[in-house]
Amino acid sequence: MKMTRHFFVSDDLDDLERFEEELEATGFVTPQIHVLSLDDTAVASHNRLHSVVSLMRRDIIHSTLIGAGVGLCVSVLILLVAHFAGWTQSPAGWLPFVFLAVIALGFFTWEGGLWGIQQPNVHFKKFEGYLKAGRHVFFVDMVPGRGQRKILAEVVKNHPSISASGVDEGAPHWVVFWQHRLKRFFTESFP
């Protein structure tokens, strides 16, 4: 089940920290809440703010998947050309062409990932103007049907310096669930 991601923009990190504390007090878990900012030092000085990890800032996953798609197409093309050209009828058979197809798939997947390291996350590109202006983007992933939208609307009313800035598709529910479970396991099992 996909979550919905609600974006907010503010230039007051202290207010965002209070906003996150209020959300967590009403039942939101830390992996549902993130702050994206170009001023990582200021965000790190606020202990309660959950900063966006570097992997999420870059477009690695999206670009790697695109590269894998291109690699898959090239691999299929290699195998089709080898088959219809009759090259597989040689004593070597399919083996060299299968190896070439696997290498092409790996190469294009790798190139996609390398391209993604250089690019900002496609979901955050629309906020580049805010970030360059020194503002901070706060986003919350919400589980549909659990009443969290109403709770979020009530908490937002207490923070006039925070403005809503859109809704998008969020992380899969299972990712947030396991991040929360893993954190609880390590903090409660190994104090």
Burial class (CB in 10 A: 0-12, 13-18, 19+), 174: exposed
Q: Distance between CA atoms of 26 and 42, rounded to whole angstroms?
A: 25
- pLDDT of 177 reads 73
- pLDDT of 9 reads 94
- pLDDT of 44 reads 87
Give Cα 112 distance to the centre of its chain: 16
Buried b (16+ CB within 10 A) or exposed e, 117-148: eeeebebbeebeebbeeebbbbbbbbbeeeeb
- pLDDT of 83 reads 95
Question: What's the predicted TM-score (pTM) here?
Answer: 0.75
Supply the CATH classification number for the domain 2-57+121-189: 3.30.70
- pLDDT of 135 reads 92
Binned average pLDDT, 10 residues per bin, the chain of 191 residues: 85 91 87 88 87 86 96 98 94 94 98 94 88 91 79 88 86 69 72 61
- pLDDT of 182 reads 74
- pLDDT of 17 reads 92
- pLDDT of 55 reads 81
Beta bridge partners of 167: 6
Q: Distance between CA atoms of 175 and 182, rounded to whole angstroms?
A: 11
Take residue 145 and report the two structure tokens written for it.
Answer: 């049907």
Q: What residue spans define the domains of the chain?
A: 2-57+121-189, 60-118
